[in-house]
Structure formats: C-alpha cells, structure tokens
C-alpha cells in the first residue's frame, strides 16, 4: 500500500491556504456556487477555509484547518464543507474518515468536498515517465494521488451517504518555463507526498531541462491539465 507523508502535508498547509493558489481559489468558487444552489440556512456548519461561504447561513459556522479537530468535538453540525482537505487522507484511511464524518452530521446533514481526479497532470506524467525510464530504467512516484470518481461515489454510497452527485471542472494551464511549473507546484503543495522519495540526480535534471526545452520549442508550451471534482451528498 502506498504511504504518504502527512507531516509534509501539514507543513505545506500554510502555503496551500495563504499563497496565490489558483487551484484552491477555483475550488472555493466551485464549492460556493454549489452550496448557494443546494444548501439553505443550515443551523451550523464546519468550513475548512475562511473563504468558503454559505449563503444565508446562521452565525454558527466553525472555521477549522485540521480535520482531526472536528472528531474531538462532540457537537453535531448540519453541513461539513472542505476544499481538497481530503485529497491525501482518503487514500489510507477512507473508511474511518467517512464513518467519523457521517457521525458528526445531523440527520439530513450535507457533505461537500473537492478532489483532484484522474485526468489531472496527464501530460506531465507522460513526460516524467519518459525521463525516469531513460534515467532510472523505471517510473518514479512524482505526482498524486489523483482519485477515481466512480470509486469515490461507491465509497460514499457504501458509507450510507445518499443522493451522491459529482460535477467536474477541467482546466488547462500552459507553461513555457520549467521553473514556473516548479514554483507553482511548490505553492500548490500537491506533489511529492509519498514517503518513498522520488529519485533524482544530475542526469535527471539535465534530461528534464533538455526535454522541456525541446517540447516548448516544438509546441510553444507545456500543457498542465487539472481536473477538479466537486462531490455533494447527504446523511
């Protein structure tokens, strides 16, 4: 089973929430639109980002940046809404996570969250597969995890959530600079969560720089695909 470095995730949380992160901002926008349409005047909600808004909500909204804290509180709520906070946690501990979330929701409670799903970073993954195969004679774990939409729907249904709906937003960001990709990925905090560190060496960096330069010269840019899936369900 793949293992992830949750300490690294925690350390990057400040980057994730406070930097100019276009993926996080788009996720916030998608969730806010969804809750505006679906959710009406919940008495209490747990939000995982101060930018998340619930239209016509009561004043009983809790802003929490650590998901473990919600399970320490005995108080139940009408809605739990988060933006990519479950991206890593759902890989190793999905059943307990869903069980605990279900437990803290009131009857007919609303659960909404964003995930990066399988169509993300496809071009980059192909590029680095070629580089790693050339340099290390095999693939390295450099991106992810990216979730499978049918699997998430099935897991929600298996854990008694009802009326599961998912909507997807696909965007493509075009890069001409390898350094810009590295900078953005560092700020996004969505790569290299694996405990098993990806291998690098001088030959790897030379091959990466050379291939990116060749691809940009040929195609004028490197496309980075990002697929954001917004899941909604009810207790």
Note the pLDDT tens digit of each residue in 177-188: 888 887 777 666
- Per-residue pLDDT reduced to its tens digit, 33-78: 888 877 766 677 777 666 676 665 655 566 665 666 666 666 788 8
Q: Binning pLDDT at 50, 70 and 90, where does residue 232 land?
A: very high
Instruction: Write down the mean pLDDT value for the chain.
Output: 79
Domain chopping of the chain, boundaries: 6-234
Return the closest-CA partner of residue 163 out of 95, 231, 87: 231
Q: What is the mean pLDDT of residues 135-149?
A: 83
What is the distance between the alpha carbons of residues 51 and 49, in angstroms, rounded to a whole number?
5
Return the closest-CA partner of residue 64 out of 107, 13, 98: 13
Contacts of 161 (CB under 8 A, 6+ apart): 98, 102, 111, 233, 234, 235
Look at the domain 6-234 and name its fold: Rossmann fold (3.40.50)
Q: What is the mean pLDDT of residues 82-89?
A: 84
What is the distance between the alpha carbons of residues 54 and 82, in angstroms, rounded to a whole number?
12
Q: Binning pLDDT at 50, 70 and 90, where does residue 6 land?
A: very low
Q: Which residues pair with 4 in a beta bridge?
A: 194
Q: Binning pLDDT at 50, 70 and 90, where does residue 199 land?
A: confident
Q: Is the pLDDT of residue 15 over 50?
A: no
In this prediction, what percent of the chain has a pLDDT beyond 90?
Answer: 23
Q: Binning pLDDT at 50, 70 and 90, where does residue 140 land?
A: confident
Q: What is the mean pLDDT of residues 201-226?
A: 89
């Amino acid at each position: 089973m793949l293992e992830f470095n949750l300490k690294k995730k925690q350390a990057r949380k400040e980057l994730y929430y406070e930097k100019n992160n276009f993926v996080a901002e788009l996720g916030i926008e998608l969730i806010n639109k969804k809750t505006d349409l679906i959710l009406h005047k919940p008495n209490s909600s747990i939000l995982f980002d101060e930018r998340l808004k619930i239209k016509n909500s009561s004043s009983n909204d809790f802003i929490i940046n650590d998901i473990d804290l919600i399970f320490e509180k005995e108080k139940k709520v009408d809605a739990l809404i988060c933006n990519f906070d479950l991206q890593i946690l759902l890989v190793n501990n999905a059943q307990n996570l869903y069980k605990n979330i279900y437990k803290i929701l009131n009857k007919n409670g609303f659960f909404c969250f964003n995930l990066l799903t399988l169509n993300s970073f496809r071009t980059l993954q192909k590029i680095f597969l070629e580089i790693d195969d050339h340099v290390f004679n095999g693939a390295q774990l450099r991106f992810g995890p990216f979730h499978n939409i049918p699997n998430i729907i099935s897991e929600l249904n298996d854990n008694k959530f009802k009326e599961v709906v998912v909507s997807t937003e696909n965007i493509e960001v075009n890069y001409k600079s390898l350094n810009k990709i590295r900078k953005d990925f560092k700020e996004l905090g969505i790569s290299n969560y694996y405990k098993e560190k990806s291998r690098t060496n001088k030959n790897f960096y030379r091959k990466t720089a050379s291939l990116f330069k060749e691809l940009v010269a040929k195609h004028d840019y490197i496309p980075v695909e990002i697929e954001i899936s917004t899941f909604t369900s009810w207790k």
